Amino acid sequence: MADAPFSILDELGFRFEPDNLYQQVVTQTLTAAEKLETPRHLQLIMAQPKNEIMVHFPVKMEDGHYRLFKGYRVQHNNLLGPYKGGVRFHPDVSLDHVKALSLLMTMKSALVGLPFGGGKGGVQIDPRAVSLEELRRVTRRFTVALGDNIGPDHDIPAPDVGTNPAVMGWMADTYLNTAGRTQRINGESVVTGKPLAFGGSPGREKATGQGLVFVLDELLPELDLDPATLSFSLIGYGNVGSWAGRLLGHRGATLKAVMDHTGAIYADGGIDVERLAKHVAEHGGVAGFNHGCETIDEATFYGVEVDLFIPAALEQMIGPEQAGLLNCKVLAEAANAPTTPEGERVLTEKGVRVLPAILCSSGGVTVSYFEWRQNRDAVTWTVDRVDRELCELMHAAARRTREMAHRLKCDLRTAAFAAALESLSEVYAIRGIFP
């Protein structure tokens, strides 16, 4: 059984590379599929995306020269509904990277029970290194380059690392100005995560952090932890990390340490979560925040004793070295795939429980679904309704994961993938494989 995922990779012609993010995610998916005894033909379907789109487009920069940009959109699976997933602006965006994230989006949607499939996109660019006007031009040209590969009933982008509501607004405006008349019906819903004034949803900005908190409410009591009294540390204090930190802090939890690309800080008595969020917004990172804090190095950060550790930045940040230093009881993945397989093995040996990303970070796509519904119905929900419906879906997904773990006698990551695959398998059994 242990070799089953690798036989699928061999059949598809993969040259196995253990550090490749896409192959790590595929292996996790296939391991769960084998545990669930998913038919082999469905394992083959899940192991590769339906469509891989690569575009190159020139943009005139403010100094007058033209720069050629590379962009991607990967559409993994649309069995349950339109492709859905973020757009990342980052220098390290690559095809395999986007493929991995698109597969995770398929799993998230199926686990939560959303009528969406999985997709992901990105552009190789450092958004901090260009002007606002250059960023707008890149966004518009990328949207045009994608053409009818996106649409409100076909593929619906959203924000991710390096993008924000403003970028989503530019994408929607570009689509509305370039799509054909029939495609413009419900055209505002071509993307989610838009500004509130342009069809965005209340609660979308905090959605991923809020969804994580709802998952913790459901799962931590079984692990003898109270979300209102625990201590925690965070990697990343951007959108996801800062909202998770603020929401937990407001409940009474103590944030003891934070690290991002600018440095790391520590306060045994707790960090002021709101004051830190304001500092990061103004200065671009946690470095220089000295309100009751001290600056620490990376090794010290990982070694801070806490109940809960939350990686909320990029992928593959917790390898065996970092896992060996961690001094926590539970790790909750707020970022996509932040823990490598080797890192997770070390954590398991230490008795650390890992709450997987496809569960913990699915609040964002869930509220994106709410925004899509609101746009199509031409209504706006209250933030109370958004939170209430998000809470119901996240609690249900957490329970589904826990029940699957008991049923298969496996870890929570395998259980989450298995629960998602069970939903997909049921629909494939009903619909069959075309033709």
CB atoms within 10 A of CB 176: 13
CB atoms within 10 A of CB 65: 8
Contact 219, 355 (CB under 8 A): yes
Contact 391, 214 (CB under 8 A): yes
What single-letter amino acid sits at 158? A
- Residue 208 sits at φ, ψ, to 5 deg, of -65, -45
Burial class (CB in 10 A: 0-12, 13-18, 19+), 376: middle
Q: Which helix (H) or strand (E) holds 169?
A: helix 165-178
The DSSP output letter for 318 is: B
The DSSP output letter for 59 is: E
Task: Give dist(CA 141, CA 54) in Å, integer.
Answer: 13
Task: Give dist(CA 175, CA 186) in Å, integer.
Answer: 11
- What contacts 181, CB < 8 A, 6 or more positions away? none
Is 120 catalytic? The answer is yes
How many CA atoms, within 13 angstroms, populate the side-chain half-sphere of residue 66? 6
Task: Give dist(CA 400, CA 408) in Å, integer.
Answer: 12
Task: Give dist(CA 221, CA 306) in Å, integer.
Answer: 16
From the candidates 35, 120, 256, 329, give the one annotated as an active-site residue: 120
How many CA atoms, within 13 angstroms, populate the side-chain half-sphere of residue 99? 19
Task: Give dist(CA 175, CA 254) in Å, integer.
Answer: 44
DSSP strand E in 209-274: where? 231-235, 254-260, 263-266
As a whole number of Å, the end-to-end CA separation of the chain is 31
Which residues form the catalytic set? Answer: 120
